[in-house]
Amino acid sequence: MAKTYVPGVPCWVDLASPDPGRAAAFYGTVFGWQIEDRSSDGDGTYRWARLDGVDVAGIAGTGVGPATWRTFVRVDDADRAATDAVAQGGAAVEQDLTVPPDGRAVMLTDPAGAEVGVWAPSTHPGAQLVNAPGTWNFNTLRTPDLDAAETFYGAVLGWRVAAADFGGFTATMLCRPGYGDVVDADNPGWKKRHEEGGSPAGFTDIVAWLEKAPAPARWGVEFNVHDTRATVDAAVSLGGQVLRAPTEGFGMWSAALVDPLGAEFSINDFGSA
């Protein structure tokens, strides 16, 4: 059965890159992806990254511009989301991203300039494997204006902001109310396991982290790996750079990297040890 997503939940990530072929070679080696070009003319403008026989991410050829990882959120109506974004002080920067027969996407920017996509699926619901080595597992919005982010994403995507107290450390969550109930319905006992494991109140509704950071505002994408330090070594050997060396905390190792075309991404081995 295909993995599906309810509205308001991130469902897909892709890399916009001026050299998709080089990007495909890099990530194919680092994450073990198989890359497929399914475009009708085989021009490579959009490639699908697959792992264990299912779609896990995309690589889009931009021709020009900086390379960047993009986050897409499931919606019922992409054009309505674009209208709402503009009404809240954002913008719709790309509205011609329909991918027949897969669905319709629109790229938005929030009032601080962070770019986020919305995806209204037809036949392709989103990533079919997540939270496993070689796949995407976290998203973080880094912005200088937390209040503006709370207002914008609340109005456009129905999110709310909540604090997560980890005992001596407090993080800020972007939550989709009721999401934990949806997950629990598919995985009975999931919420109870989180509660018994000491997860902060409201944690089961989280869809992303929210962090205060200097401009420019941007969405970050994080991937799970078997071994953070080994993955850093592999990325560097292929022309990547280290933004943040491997560090240990919260029961995992994590690091931040830049691919050879300049796209930033993070990795962690949460749950993979």
Mean pLDDT for 33-51 is 81
Q: Is residue 179 part of a domain?
A: yes
Question: Is residue 86 in some structural domain?
Answer: yes
Q: Is residue 98 very low, low, confident or very high in pLDDT (cuts 50, 70, 90)?
A: low
Residue 71: its pLDDT value, please?
Answer: 98
Contacts of 160 (CB under 8 A, 6+ apart): 150, 154, 174, 175, 177
Residue with tokens 């889009």: 60
> Is residue 165 in some structural domain?
yes
User: Picking from 75-79, 178-182, 209-213, 264-268, which range would have the lowest pLDDT averaged per residue?
Assistant: 178-182
φ and ψ at 152, to 5 degrees?
A: -65, -55
CATH of the domain at 25: 3.10.180.10
pLDDT for 194 equals 82
Give the closest residue to 96 by CA, choosing from 85, 106, 84.
Answer: 106
Q: How many domains does the chain have?
A: 1
Residues 225-233: what's their mean pLDDT? 97
Q: Is residue 125 part of a domain?
A: yes
Q: Model-level pTM? A: 0.94
pLDDT confidence bin for 39, thresholds 50/70/90: low
* Residue whose tokens read 């912005």: 143
Distance CA 88, CA 231 (A): 40
CA distance 119 to 76: 8
Nearest partner of 128 among 35, 210, 5, judged by Cα: 5
| DSSP-based helix, strand, coil % in the chain, nearest 5 | 25, 40, 40
Residue 6 is predicted with a pLDDT of 96
The pLDDT of residue 115: 97
Cis peptide before 101 (omega within 30 of 0): yes
pLDDT band at 83 (very low <50, low <70, confident <90, very high): very high
The 10 Å CB-count burial string (b at 16+, else e) for 10-25 is bbbbbbbbebbebbbe
Q: How many CB atoms neighbour CB 65 within 10 A? A: 9
Separation CA 182–CA 33 (nearest Å):
29
**86 has a pLDDT exceeding 90:** yes
Any residues with CB less than 8 A from the CB of 184 and at least 6 apart, and which? 190, 191, 204
Token readout for 94 is 């790309």
- The mean of the pLDDT values for the chain is 92
Range of the domain at 69: 10-268
Express each pLDDT in 110-156 by its tens digit. Answer: 999 999 999 999 999 999 999 999 999 999 999 999 999 999 999 99
Integer Cα distance of 48 and 20 in angstroms: 11
Residue range 151-169: mean pLDDT, rounded: 92
Q: Assess if residue 16 is contained within a domain.
A: yes
